[in-house]
Structure 1
Amino acid sequence: MMANILISPGKYVQGAGELKKLGNYAEGYGKKALALITKSGYGRVGSQIQESFDKTGCSVVFDYFNGECCRTEIDRLTAKMEAEQCDMVIGIGGGKILDTAKAVAYYRKTPVLVCPTIASTDAPCSALSVIYTDSGVFEEYLFLPANPNMVLMDTEVIAKSPARLTVSGMGDALATYFEARAIQRKAAATCAGGQVTLAAMALAKLCFDTLMEEGVKAKIALEAGACTKSVEKVIEANTLLSGIGFESGGLAGAHAIHNGFTVLEECHSMYHGEKVAFGTITQLVLEDVPAEELQEIIDFCIELGLPVTLKQLGVKEVTNDKIMAVAKAACAENDTLHNMPFEVTPESVCAAILAADAYGRYFLGE
């Protein structure tokens, strides 16, 4: 019998202006931090982070991220940490920076603090780094022995990011409950290495309910540049609820189908959560859910501006060969499509993708 397991970050902090206190938080974990950030990110928040360290017993060394969470970058930063004698890593930015910081901390056996500047994926809370090749093709999941020591969400910074990023995060979070539900039905192992706990299931469901209740309100507020209560709730749903939910609830169809789409060059401009949203609709088609449930999810995606057709995903010309290539990649032996509670084949996935696209066009009135 597999145990029921739940894993989560050591500490989760969410609020306006929290990045200005990063130095105080970091002091609890070590003496010298390597802070990984992009050049533009440094331009926006670098000085306030530096200031937050000035009055503490902890110093910080900044390094600019090379743009890809790949072995080359991880090795470069591991060497830098050794040279600078840093005893913790801080990742400040988007998913790839956070994943890189987590991987570097793992190889150096140090604490890691993650500070997302966007709420576009559920990656921040997880004990997982997605490793790509130098050219950006999915290579492998690096499962880490522990979740980040701390996740810090500065809602002021996040609310200033383009609304499309937070909407993309809702697309990623949308999959959480449906994937956890599939895993529970199959009694499969989650990313946490055991079966789904009641707690993880409750958080996954709360994540879904929050999106349905607050998602559209939050999108409209964000487009007006307003950080409202609904924006705060969605940031938590995208990050904490979806983070614990996907990891301790498990991944199934939606994320595997996302990985399948990475083989199409033309979809590379789409965000992770946008592809996951379409993957979620495809998973629901595979499961043959009731028409009302399918319509509710497609309508929600349309209202948020998440892609519901292959054309919206960037596929200019839909051919059977292309979609079959996506389906085959999604069915890869080591991917999570096999966590669905029934047998899945490249043929059935290909059919589900084409049907999902057709439903999307239907509800758009095309």
Structure 2
Amino acid sequence: MKRVMISPNRYVQGAGVISEIGNQVKLLGSKALVLGGKTALANVRTVLEKSFADNKLGLVIENFGGECCQKEIDRLVVSAKTNQADVIIGVGGGKALDTAKAVAYYAKLPVAIVPTIAATDAPCSALSVIYNDNGVFESYLLLPKNPDLVLVDTAVIVKAPVRLLVAGMGDALATWFEADACAKAFAGNLPGGMSTAAALSLARLCYDILIEYGHQAKLAVEKGVVTGAVEKVVEANTLLSGIGFESSGLAAAHAVHNGFTVLEETHHMYHGEKVAFGTLVQLVLENRSTGEINEVLEFCGKVGLPVTLAEIGVSQITEEKIWKVAQTACAPGETIHNEPFPVSPEMVYAAIMAADALGSVYKAGK
């Protein structure tokens, strides 16, 4: 039985570390194509340009089009080749970072990842989630290696809206439960092996940090300050969740998220917010204990994650809509089939409706 664990080559986190980016990137190349959204680039551009100039590195900046789709990836690959870049840098949120990783893969170049939000575990993974031009999930692009550098400036992270940090907690919340399901099922992980004890331990540590420090971190970010709790939660959202999901595996929570992408009314919600509800669905699907479900409900309530269908945008609930989500979540090859028992659309439909009922009762009792 082969066990495989993968991780970024170098992970750097702390307040102010963006000023070191040139010193870090020069280990990878001499001219970078930097891609990111306008807001993300605006937050780091001055410091980034100074650090590159101080280290005598070339720099070309491209605005990210907003969707991690094949058309955008192809456009940026052409730009990298035209500008003779020898390293790709992604700045921003999950879709921009996934795009940077895909561009680096197709251009056969190293990649540095600079998240400006802690909303997903995308920064550390050897994976890009590909959507179509309209934002509907299309496929996973499995990459041959993790990013060469992940640089996380927590002073930048706390400037972003607190909802983004909370969404990252929602994505990270699934990590332990999905890892546990895969371990029980002897399901393979993303790099094609079984989970190591280290990866499972990191997945559990991710959950424990969220429960212990998540609310503290949210309150600190609301004040725009970096505290020990913020550092721990950013690490959980980014590094621990990234290694945990990738080296231990995904299961129902993310498959349910993918199912909800077929409903246009959920498109305004962040990935992690939908994954949080998907986690509740997974707990119901697995017939987890009342204590475990209540702990997740309490955590979501404290930090502001959705626990009902209405809270992820499905205010008009119909059998047709939920059935469509359930069928999509159970598509061949979906990660829901990593659960330690056979899963059918009927089971997922029931779990979604029951999770919504549990969430509604919890909200009513607050």
Distance apart, 1:224 and its partner CA: 1.8
Q: Is residue 278 of structure 2 the alignment partner of residue 279 of structure 1? A: yes
Structure 2 matches for 1:19-98, cutoff 5 A? 19-98=18-97
Q: Is residue 228 of structure 2 the alignment partner of residue 233 of structure 1? A: no
1:85 maps to amino acid: Q
- Aligned-partner SS, 1:43: helix
- Aligned-partner SS, 2:311: coil
Deviation per CA, 1:83-134: give whole Å up to 9, x if none: 1110010001000110011001001111000000000001100000011111
**Structure 2 unaligned blocks of 5 or more:** none
Structure 2 matches for 1:82-161, cutoff 5 A? 82-161=81-160
Separation in 2 of the partners of 1:201 and 1:32?
Answer: 38
Partner of 1:317 in structure 2? 316
Separation in 1 of the partners of 2:124 and 2:148?
Answer: 9
Separation in 2 of the partners of 1:60 and 1:262?
Answer: 36
Deviation per CA, 1:163-195: give whole Å up to 9, x if none: 000000000000000000000000010112110
Separation in 2 of the partners of 1:250 and 1:42?
Answer: 32
Identity rate, percent: 57
Structure 2 matches for 1:136-285, cutoff 5 A? 136-285=135-284
Distance apart, 1:57 and its partner CA: 3.2
2:91 maps to amino acid: I
1:106 maps to amino acid: Y
Deviation per CA, 1:25-80: give whole Å up to 9, x if none: 11111111000022222322211111110121321111111111111111111111
2:247 maps to amino acid: S
Separation in 1 of the partners of 2:45 and 2:66?
Answer: 18
Separation in 2 of the partners of 1:10 and 1:314?
Answer: 38
Deviation per CA, 1:311-362: give whole Å up to 9, x if none: 1111021111110100000001021000000111000000000000000011
2:345 maps to amino acid: P
Count of residues in Structure 1 that have an aligned counterpart in Structure 2: 365
Separation in 1 of the partners of 2:307 and 2:36?
Answer: 33
Q: Is residue 9 of structure 2 the alignment partner of residue 14 of structure 1? A: no
Partner of 1:301 in structure 2? 300
Q: Which runs of 4+ in 1 moved over 4 A?
A: none
**Structure 1 unaligned blocks of 5 or more:** none
Distance apart, 1:364 and its partner CA: 1.1
1:212 maps to amino acid: I
Over aligned residue pairs, what C-alpha RMSD do you find?
0.8
Separation in 2 of the partners of 1:356 and 1:48?
Answer: 45
Separation in 1 of the partners of 2:318 and 2:298?
Answer: 26
Separation in 2 of the partners of 1:219 and 1:253?
Answer: 26
1:331 maps to amino acid: C
Partner of 1:354 in structure 2? 353
Separation in 2 of the partners of 1:122 and 1:41?
Answer: 17
Distance apart, 1:220 and its partner CA: 1.2
TM-score by length of 1: 0.98
2:131 maps to amino acid: Y
Separation in 2 of the partners of 1:111 and 1:242?
Answer: 22
Partner of 1:4 in structure 2? 3
- Cα contact 2:41–2:92 (8 A) shared by 1: no
Deviation per CA, 1:285-312: give whole Å up to 9, x if none: 0000111111111111111110000011
TM-score by length of 2: 0.98
Separation in 1 of the partners of 2:242 and 2:57?
Answer: 29
Deviation per CA, 1:188-235: give whole Å up to 9, x if none: 101121101000000001001000100011111111222111011000
1:194 maps to amino acid: G
1:5 maps to amino acid: V
When structure 1 is superposed on structure 2, of 37-46 and 346-355 the one drifting more is 37-46
- Aligned-partner SS, 2:312: coil
